[in-house]
Amino acid sequence: MINQAYIIDFIVSCIRLATPLIYCTLGALVSMHAGQINMAMEGILLTSGLTGVLVSGYTGSLWLGALGAFAGGVIISLIMGYMNIVINADMMLCGISMNNFASGGTIMLIYALLNTKGSTQSLKSLQFPNWNIPFIKDIPFLGKILSGYNVLTYLAFVMAVVVWIFIFRTRTGLRIRAIGMNPNAAASVGINVNRIRFQAYVYSGIFAALGGAFMTMGYLSYWAQNMMGGRGFIGISAANLSGGNVLLGTLAAVAFGATNALAIVLQTLNLKPELMQMLPYIATILGLVAISVAQKKRDDNIIKKAAMHVRLEREADEAKEAAVRTVR
Amino acid sequence: MDGNLRLNHFFVKYFEAIRTLVAVLIGFGVSLLFIYFISDEPVKAISTYMFKPFDGIRRIGSMVEYMIPIMFCGLGMCMMMSVGQFNLIGDGANFLAASAVAYISTCLIPNCPPILFPVILIIAGAVIGGGCGVIPAYLQSKFKTNIVVVSLMANYILILGGVYMLLYWMRDPSKTYVGSYAIPEAAKLTNIIPKTKVSTGIILAFLATIAVFWFLYRTKPGYQMRLIGKNAAFAKYSGINVVKYAIIAQVIGGALAGMGGAIDTLGKYDRFIWLASNGYGFDGMMIAVIAKGNPAYIPAAALFLAYIRIGADIVGQTTDVPLDFVLVVQSIIVMLVAAVSFMSGFRQKSVVKIANAEKAGV
Amino acid sequence: MDEPILLMQNITKVYSNGFTANSNVTLSCQKGEIHALLGENGAGKTTLMKMLFGFEEPTEGKIFIKGKEVKFKGALDAIEHGVGMVHQHFMLVDRLTIAENVVLGSEPIRMGLFDKAGAIKKTKELADKYQFNIDPTAIVSEVTVATKQKIEILKALLHGAEILVLDEPTAVLTPQETRELFVQLNLLKEAGHTIIFISHKLNEIKELCDSFTILRKGRVIGTGLVPDYTPHMMSAMMVGRDVLLEITKEDAVQRETVASVDHLSYFDVTGLPVIDDISFSVQKGSILGIAGVEGNGQNELSEILTGLRNFSNGEIKLNGKSIKGLSVRQLRDSGVASISEDRMTYGCAPSASIAENLMSDRFFKPKYSRKVSLKRKDIEKVVNQYIKDFDISCTGPNEKVGDLSGGNIQKVIVAREFTSGASFIVANQPTRGIDVGATEFIRKKLIDLTRTGEVGALLISADLNEVMEVSDSLVVMHKGAICAYFEKAKDVSEDELGEYMLGIKTMTPEEIGLARKGAI
């Protein structure tokens, strides 16, 4: 009994739930190309969600709120960058610690500013509006799927394009990719590898920041402690699955959004919510295994191809030599 | 000059210990700063934080109680670190084992005779924990997946599993709050300090510490595991089966965390009431990092963490400062202790001074 | 015109561990010449070039470029002064295109974005100028080794290099590719570039270079114009010994064969024979040395013999039994011990204690352990004995191996391997980079071990002294094959040995076949 309304609801739900995941995936992709894993993604979400709410609440401006969200993401990234790159703490440990740092720090921040413990519901913060696109919203079926999302959702897809341009078409993106693949090569032409790594963290934080803002200023209208529920890690996993490809990463994020939406739908069908909530995490682990297997196949192929190349070249050479000799 | 040189030698020789101490002190200092700036009555709040944990048997008992699960998680993390793997399954293993133990004791074998009862349950906790630990370990060895991400994802799954069991398999409908059936008295661990909830679990925790230390530093498998952690290629080249022992180490690590969950439940609570993890896994990671993976230092590190946690708890309850600043402090300490270059400039200067002195024939 | 474009004057480089890599070296190059820098491995060529490229600073001495003194603080400095380095191990980003690799660090910009088309254009122009036939849009992982080298040269040229340093460029090229390279280098020379050509292929140097400088053990042995010297003369300068190391040793005791290799071949991924149909045998009671310039298959041979690498073509027998497919543990149990060339990766665990390192291959033996636990007191006693027997300078069995000096680290490794009860020892560069005292000690221990008659050893060494004096018999490897065999190492002079090592001479198959003695 799956009728049209269900399908539409499901797809809309998918994309809406995928929004924060997409932002995290984009941030994780930047790190990935730099050869890093930004485990602090969860903390970035939490912090940027809070700073966005706070700034928008105090200034009354939505756009300043967005800037506030960016600032939150950057702060976490800066601390992470300092700990990992300047004083050389292990990347994983740093990331995990930063998540806890953010967890405690956000609660402290709220208390310091609002004197409440745990959530910002007392603050009148703003929300990003939904956008009902004129004309498109009236198209039957498609209209409901394409129009009516939150502004930040549309922005997420725009951001995907921006991130693609950043990684693959700018000079900084080229350098980031270079140090991610062969830092020695970059160093040998005078590039400051550590500086680029630091920048990569910061950009990662910037691109992911709006994910937090979406949760607190779009999906909900307030910030509550530990509200991100692992979305940061799912974003990292989606980036892993994509192998660095921005389009695939975005699609992976949407797919994870789908498992989230599926969980909600299945709940209404009397399947236990806790089991359903496991879906995205199980999907993540399976995805990681799949990508590992695929990666290995790909690497083996590259080696085989290169070897064949060289062998053919050599045989051509030897043929030429032989020809030259017989002429003589 | 001689005294100065002596100081330099001392500094270089005990550098790691000094560095850890400085990191801990900095973290502690930061916690004081938090309280100072946030509280309206800073002096009172700070003295509460620093001294109240020792005020009265109940409070000291709280510290000791807190030490129990984190010591087990810390020991579990020591096992992971011994083979050089950052398998963070401790949190999930701990939680699932705790929930499972409540379920088994209330629904599966509620009439098990005493003495045997807790023993079976603790073993069950260990088995469950070990099973949890093997998943990220196996995936890593077979598919080279990132063990940190996989174990963190698995934690979410395990915790959801534990909550599921509480809500649908053992929830006591007669209670207004969400809780399991009452755990049979025969299953519980004996209380050893009246007026507190300190159970025999603390003895078990210390026994476990001794056992893990003995295992890692005195036995053949432990030796192989540590060698793998120090240089897996060399271990392989010496003929050691790296894959096998790396996985066994992580199973033991998970088992310890699981045991901790079981012991915590049976020692402290009447029912299982948790809908979210207590974060013992991260606590365990922190004390293992401070202890540099050596079980011998786990009790001291656990005591320190218990101290600041309970201190923060009391501060959170009796003053206007929320207790969550302690998480920030923990994070800073972990990062500083783990930072290879933290204070390394000072060490370098000392080394140079010593080298120069040697050249001058001192 | 008489002023050299590059003058490295009285350069001395002493490392913090006391090792002297360069001693009073002077290198002078005229503008527009191709200057060969010759020397064996360890002669100091790489260190000298590291200083030229700004990776290291000289302990003493000055560098002048175009008459002006320069002090390089890093690669960027050197690049700015017109020095371009083409490394032996390519510094390329495999998954980027050729153009992207070439412009990396000085990428062209258009409207704020990376100007891909501009980079391609720039690269193509530069390539065409010197007749480099390349496609700038190709991905680096998919091009040949020769092309990769051209990319490195283009990189240097793009950054304005006037002095190009090429480190062993033809080691990885086919003859045809080498010819192509020489054409391009000559074009560069005509355009006014100066080239430093590091190599030990004397025939190529004769063909390409104008002048040369020869280094040996960190010193300049000779310098001159290439046309004035024959390969024989240059080889004599390169491969001589300054100090005649005389080791008095008893004669070898020729016992039964402990290890035999028959028609062993090993191919790399591209099908190139890295080991080319070699056969030899090692007898208990004697030491067989393998001489040869590094990179001629010795490392792969050592890895195959010790279980780190699998092989399919040929036969290897240990005490008469084939070792094909055996695991490392099984090989050790069969009686193989080895001193690995990469001692810090395979030879020891630096963060573990001396005792822990010494026990890694024998902790399970009843002598050192009970059913579950280790017999710590017994272990400590044995380790202390080893520390004494092998003269290991340390604070005790619990000191971390990484804290010891290089020589002592090697002695720990040697202590473990030499007391393992093995009947066949493979020693790969056992005394490289360690102090004189430890070196003498280890060599003597190796000889003594074989003189018991129970052990046969294979000594792979790039140190001519060592391989000539310590070995009883000698085999020379060149391009993966054995090109010479000397039953008595004492019978060959270093000049002659050098010629075999450098491929100038080669023995007949009958003479080489004598290396494989014994029926089994």
| Domains of chain C: total | 3
Regarding pTM above 0.95, the answer is: no
- A227 and A213 together in one domain: yes
Q: Which residue did the predictor score with more confidence, C384 or C328?
A: C384
- C462 and C427 together in one domain: yes
A14/chain C closest Cα distance in angstroms = 34
Residue with tokens 């060895």: B141
Residue to mutate among B82, B218, B226, B230, with most C CBs inside 10 A, is B230
- A13 and A146 together in one domain: yes
Are C40 and C62 contacting, i.e. CB atoms less than 8 angstroms apart?
no
Q: Do A230 and B156 touch (CB under 8 A)?
A: yes
Domains of chain B by start residue, with CATH: 1-39+324-362 (no CATH), 63-320 (1.10.3470)
Q: Do C352 and B218 touch (CB under 8 A)?
A: no
- The single-letter code of the amino acid at A301 is N
- C261 and C217 together in one domain: no
Give me the pLDDT at residue C142, please: 80
Q: Which of A74-78, A294-298, C233-237 has the highest mean pLDDT?
A: A74-78
C-alpha gyration radius of chain B: 22
- Structural domain including A197 reads 4-272
List CB contacts of B282: < 8 A, sequence separation 6 or more: A96, A100, B91, B330
Residue A106 CA, distance from chain mean position: 21
Flag whether C342 is in a domain. Answer: no
- A325 and A185 together in one domain: no
Q: Do C93 and A317 touch (CB under 8 A)?
A: no
pLDDT tens digits, residue range C92-105?
998 899 999 999 98
pLDDT tens digits, residue range C319-339?
889 998 888 888 998 999 999
The CATH code of the domain that includes C112 is 3.40.50.300
List CB contacts of C373: < 8 A, sequence separation 6 or more: B214, B218, B219, B220
Flag whether C341 is in a domain. Answer: no
- C40 and C115 together in one domain: yes
- Nearest CB to A89 within list B145, B160, B338: B338
- The single-letter code of the amino acid at B145 is T
d(CA B128, CA B103): 13
Give me the pLDDT at residue C201, please: 80
Shortest CA distance from C416: residue in chain B: B238
Percent of chain B topping pLDDT 70: 99
Residue B38 has pLDDT above 90, yes or no: no
d(CA B188, CA B325): 33
A311/chain C closest Cα distance in angstroms = 6
Give me the pLDDT at residue A1, please: 52
Strand partners, C264: C278
Phi-psi region of B90 (alpha: psi -120 to 50; beta: other; left: phi over 0): alpha
Phi-psi region of A234 (alpha: psi -120 to 50; beta: other; left: phi over 0): alpha
Closest CA to A174 of B233, B260, C101: C101
| Domains of chain A: total | 2
Neighbours of chain A (3+ CB pairs under 8 A): B, C
d(CA A192, CA B225): 38
- C255 and C202 together in one domain: no
* Token digits of residue C412: 């720990």
- Nearest CB to A171 within list C114, C159, C176: C114
- A128 and A176 together in one domain: yes
**Final residue belonging to a domain, choices C189, C220, C238:** C238
Residue B302 has pLDDT above 90, yes or no: yes
ipTM entry? 0.87
Give me the pLDDT at residue C1, please: 52
**Final residue belonging to a domain, choices C238, C265, C298:** C238
Are A204 and A26 contacting, i.e. CB atoms less than 8 angstroms apart?
no
pLDDT tens digits, residue range C231-245?
878 887 877 665 556
Q: What are phi and psi of C251, to 5 degrees?
A: -70, 155
Residue to mutate among B218, B238, B352, B358, with most C CBs inside 10 A, is B238
Closest CA to C37 of C172, C175, C238, C291: C238
- Structural domain including C124 reads 6-238
Element holding B347 (H helix, E strand): helix B344-359
Give me the pLDDT at residue C358, please: 95
pLDDT tens digits, residue range A171-226?
999 999 999 999 989 988 888 999 999 999 999 999 999 999 999 998 888 898 88
- The single-letter code of the amino acid at C309 is R
Give me the pLDDT at residue C242, please: 54
pLDDT tens digits, residue range C177-227?
888 899 999 999 999 999 999 987 888 899 999 999 998 888 898 899 999
**Final residue belonging to a domain, choices A247, A272, A297:** A272
Residue B218 CA, distance from chain mean position: 22
For residue C424, the SS3 value is strand
The confidence band for A166, taking pLDDT boundaries of 50, 70 and 90, is very high
List CB contacts of B278: < 8 A, sequence separation 6 or more: B69, B94, B95
- The single-letter code of the amino acid at C359 is M
- A264 and A307 together in one domain: no
